[in-house]
């Protein structure tokens, strides 16, 4: 099958082919959180991911916070099995793994130990962590507890946090402790307002982020936008940086490997 990237590259005559993307943050499972309500909606979202050039996705329904008590691992696994079967039947070429988008909670280390909170691709290596958007909380104590379990925190969309928009340098101590930052594709395109857009580009330009992901919830207001964001990043920061953020590092999360990236700031992240 010819991918979206191959078609686009052929039209553009690109010297640098566009890689297949891996999405590590997507609310694509049916009936679990504020993502798709039905299996049909989930399949439509997955089709949108494929059209956007994504061939592997980690489904990350919300856990804890306002979804505390919902999205238990057994329900997440069952929903992913149902979705993968429907995608196969309908010939939609994407592989759905599971994880969770976990709201900051002091019970988290214990809940990971008990298997009640999911790590990405169930690898027990990377935890996708969401902070409250308008309250600043120091992650230091939680990071220390997770470090003893060899769990690395991936902080989702720091660019949307009000304190970090004003003082992005607040992430430096976390980066030094191994936290990885995930920027949301739509933020780079202005979907979450000018402050989130500016902060997203700032973090990327200073080489402080490891991933771009969709955080998609549907095919309308919170659609994927991965390909447009990739093209914008490639234009501004070069193809190597773009491939690292959209394909290489996300793929390493799936296979539980170390990232091919060193936390900045280290000057501009443009390819040399
Ligand atoms: Fe999310």
Residue 199 Cα distances to 130, 132, 195, angstroms = 17, 17, 6
Is residue 267 assigned to a domain?
no
Determine the distance separating the centroid of ligand 1 and the alpha carbon of 205, expressed in angstroms: 23
Full domain range(s) for residue 202: 4-8+15-255
Burial of residue 140 (number of CB atoms within 10 Å: 0-12, 13-18, 19+): exposed
Is residue 22 assigned to a domain?
yes
CA angle 138, 148, 142 (to 5 degrees): 15
* Structure tokens belonging to residue 62: 């919300």
Q: CB within 5 A of ion ligand 1: which residues?
A: 101, 215
pLDDT at 1 over 60: no
Is residue 271 assigned to a domain?
no
Determine the distance separating the centroid of ligand 1 and the alpha carbon of 184, expressed in angstroms: 9
Is residue 265 assigned to a domain?
no
Per-residue confidence (pLDDT) for residue 123, from 0 to 100: 87
Residue entry with tokens 């039905």: 38
Look at 120-124, 154-158, 189-193, 214-218 and tell me which has the smallest mean pLDDT. 120-124
CA angle 9, 15, 17 (to 5 degrees): 45
Round to whole Å and give the CA distance between 69 and 218: 23
DSSP 259: P
Determine the 3-state secondary structure of 115 from DSSP. Answer: coil
Per-residue confidence (pLDDT) for residue 272, from 0 to 100: 36
Burial of residue 2 (number of CB atoms within 10 Å: 0-12, 13-18, 19+): exposed
Give per-residue pLDDT as tens, 89-121: 999 999 999 999 999 999 999 999 999 999 999
Round to whole Å and give the CA distance between 31 and 54: 22
Determine the distance separating the centroid of ligand 1 and the alpha carbon of 153, expressed in angstroms: 15
Do 114 and 105 meet the contact criterion of CB atoms below 8 Å apart? no
Is residue 67 assigned to a domain?
yes
* Count: domains in the chain: 1
CATH, residue 243: 3.20.20.140
Determine the distance separating the centroid of ligand 1 and the alpha carbon of 61, expressed in angstroms: 7
Determine the 3-state secondary structure of 4 from DSSP. Answer: helix
Determine the distance separating the centroid of ligand 1 and the alpha carbon of 125, expressed in angstroms: 19
Q: Which of 55, 38, 149 is nearest to 93 (CA)?
A: 55
Look at 4-18, 74-88, 98-112, 123-137 and tell me which has the smallest mean pLDDT. 4-18
Determine the distance separating the centroid of ligand 1 and the alpha carbon of 10, expressed in angstroms: 33
Determine the distance separating the centroid of ligand 1 and the alpha carbon of 44, expressed in angstroms: 18
Determine the distance separating the centroid of ligand 1 and the alpha carbon of 63, expressed in angstroms: 10
Which range of 2-11, 19-28, 125-134 scores highest in mean pLDDT? It is: 19-28
Residue 173 Cα distances to 36, 101, 119, 135, 208, angstroms = 36, 22, 23, 18, 12
- Above pLDDT 90, what percent of the chain? 80
Is residue 207 assigned to a domain?
yes
Is residue 268 assigned to a domain?
no
Per-residue confidence (pLDDT) for residue 17, from 0 to 100: 84
pTM listed for this prediction? 0.92
Largest pairwise CA distance in the chain: 52
Is residue 190 assigned to a domain?
yes
Determine the distance separating the centroid of ligand 1 and the alpha carbon of 145, expressed in angstroms: 23
Determine the 3-state secondary structure of 124 from DSSP. Answer: coil
Do 209 and 169 meet the contact criterion of CB atoms below 8 Å apart? no
Determine the distance separating the centroid of ligand 1 and the alpha carbon of 16, expressed in angstroms: 30
Determine the distance separating the centroid of ligand 1 and the alpha carbon of 34, expressed in angstroms: 9
């Amino acid at each position: 099958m010819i991918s979206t990237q191959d078609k686009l590259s052929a039209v553009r005559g690109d010297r640098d082919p566009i890689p297949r993307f891996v999405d590590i943050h997507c609310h694509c499972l049916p009936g679990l959180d504020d993502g798709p309500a039905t299996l049909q909606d989930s399949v439509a979202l997955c089709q949108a991911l494929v059209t956007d050039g994504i061939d592997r996705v980690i489904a990350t329904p919300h856990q804890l916070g306002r979804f505390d008590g919902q999205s238990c691992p057994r329900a997440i696994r069952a929903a992913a099995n149902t979705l993968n079967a429907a995608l196969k039947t309908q010939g939609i070429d994407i592989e759905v793994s599971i994880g969770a988008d976990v709201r900051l909670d002091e019970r988290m280390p214990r809940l990971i130990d008990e298997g009640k909170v999911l790590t990405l691709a169930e690898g027990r290596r990377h935890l996708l962590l969401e902070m409250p958007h308008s309250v600043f909380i120091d992650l230091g104590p939680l990071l220390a507890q997770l470090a003893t379990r060899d769990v690395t925190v991936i902080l989702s969309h720091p660019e949307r946090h009000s304190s970090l928009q004003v003082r992005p340098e607040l992430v430096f101590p976390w980066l030094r402790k191994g936290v990885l930052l995930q920027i949301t594709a739509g933020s780079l395109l202005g979907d979450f307002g000018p402050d989130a857009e500016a902060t997203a580009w700032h973090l990327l330009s200073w080489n402080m982020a490891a991933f771009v992901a969709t955080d998609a919830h549907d095919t309308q207001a919170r659609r994927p936008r991965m390909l447009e964001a990739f093209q914008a990043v490639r234009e501004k920061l070069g193809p190597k940086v773009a491939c690292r953020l959209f394909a290489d590092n996300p793929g390493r999360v799936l296979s539980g490997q170390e990232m091919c990236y060193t936390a900045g700031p280290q000057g501009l992240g443009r390819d040399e």
